[in-house]
Structure 1
């Protein structure tokens, strides 16, 4: 075998491994998934960093009370709005495990990408929380930037379910329904976050996002009522997606939606008595 033949074989093997001719690493689908995951990490990082930083600055000495509670609400809402417009066309701008799971349940998101998104969102939250912990030396329980119940656990759980329901309901409308005005998605979602924080902030902290609560809890080792911020957002988001899926436009016949002719018969029987 000549030297040129050996060189050609080596180059062919290298191309196969690196994907220069359609291999795994060069697959457009793989590249797109990697880009989406990176976008989710970046988006989750800056969302948690900006929102939690406003909480810290409102608590620490030297700037205590300068941002105020309405200011914190605005920071969370505007941060989401900015990041949706910046990254929505790349990853969908989930930044929230509850949103990702809800999309996957109703087949608006590939199930195989769910684990990657969840890891990216949690990683972004941990990195942002770690950055804040390093920037502020005097952080303690009184300056905790995570979420803890201010009242009873049940009260906070209900608030988390309701606010997560509203958030996912709006997200489902502006991102999965062609009749909605897509260009205003960032504004609609951002304003929903702002309203939710106004409503639930004083009671539950208005997490609506398991990743948002996980990062600060892990970094500062404060887990008071942590289960609320896992159960509440997931339950609320799934219910919100289910509610919008129930009322969304469809051109399918009722028989196909119900999946049973008995359902149609029961409806017609009920209307005949009117």
Structure 2
């Protein structure tokens, strides 16, 4: 197809409104993918918490593995559709770095929060959880201690994720690597802050069960940690490698 014919086709597409409709459909599909992904992540991860509290057969290492493996599976399943954010802190950080369109941010955040609420509601109805079996995240010590842990663990998550998305990174093991980082983060921060790293993961259970203790920690911490992690990686990366390869 010649360039003139291609230009005419694009012009006709714009005049008919089909391009705009197609773009809106794609955005809606991505938001739906994020909602489904967030639902499955929160459901699986929090379900392991409930089962451990009610039956004691999951163990803490088991909870860590559930969170990490679920993230891994979902990245490979829908990462090519929506980017597999599942986290408002990730979406906002990528937008600040101009790696994600700002017009899609509200839909993504709404999808994350709604997915978490629906997953939490499902667990609440299935297990009839009590306050002692709360599957959300609350500080085990001081708010400041949990805040620092949330910042550090989310920093690590975004630092690694940005490195894996770099053009100069090695291989196609991003999903596995991110899943392993989540496992490590939950291991080190789980007993202290619950290792949320995700405002939506905390907000859903809090709303469903009406427990809001220290909730600001899980909003401020992940946003600060995510931004610092991404900015730090951008500070040390070496784009000169691209030029050397040409």
Same-fold call, TM > 0.5? yes
TM-score (norm 1): 0.80
Unaligned residue ranges in structure 1 (runs of 5+): 1-18, 253-274
Deviations 1:188-225 (A, max 9, x none): 10000000000000000000000000000000000011
| 1:221 alignment counterpart | 210
**How many residues are matched?**
229
Equivalents in 2 of 1:217, 1:246: separation in Å?
36
Unaligned residue ranges in structure 2 (runs of 5+): 1-12, 242-246
Deviations 1:242-268 (A, max 9, x none): 00111122249xxxxxxxxxxxxxxxx
Query: SS state of the match for residue 94, structure 1?
Result: coil
Shift of the alpha carbon at 1:112?
1.0
Query: SS state of the match for residue 172, structure 2?
Result: helix
Deviations 1:122-160 (A, max 9, x none): 1100000010011012x1121000000011111111000
Higher relative contact order (CA 8 A, sep 6+): 2
Aligned CA RMSD, in angstroms, stands at 1.7
TM-score (norm 2): 0.89
Shift of the alpha carbon at 1:28?
2.4
| 1:89 alignment counterpart | 80
Q: Aligned ranges for residues 30-179 of structure 1 at < 5 Å?
A: 30-60=24-54, 64-137=55-128, 139-175=129-165, 177-179=166-168
Query: SS state of the match for residue 27, structure 1?
Result: helix
Q: Contact 1:100 / 1:117 at 8 angstroms: preserved in 2?
A: yes
Q: Contact 1:161 / 1:233 at 8 angstroms: preserved in 2?
A: yes
Q: Aligned ranges for residues 7-18 of structure 1 at < 5 Å?
A: none
Query: SS state of the match for residue 226, structure 1?
Result: coil
Which structure's CA Rg is the greater one?
1
User: Which residue among 195, 205, 209 is the counterpart of 2:198?
Assistant: 209
Deviations 1:159-178 (A, max 9, x none): 00000000011111112x11
User: Which residue among 185, 189, 198 is the counterpart of 1:200?
Assistant: 189
Equivalents in 1 of 2:32, 2:170: separation in Å?
27
Equivalents in 1 of 2:191, 2:27: separation in Å?
38
Equivalents in 2 of 1:92, 1:85: separation in Å?
10
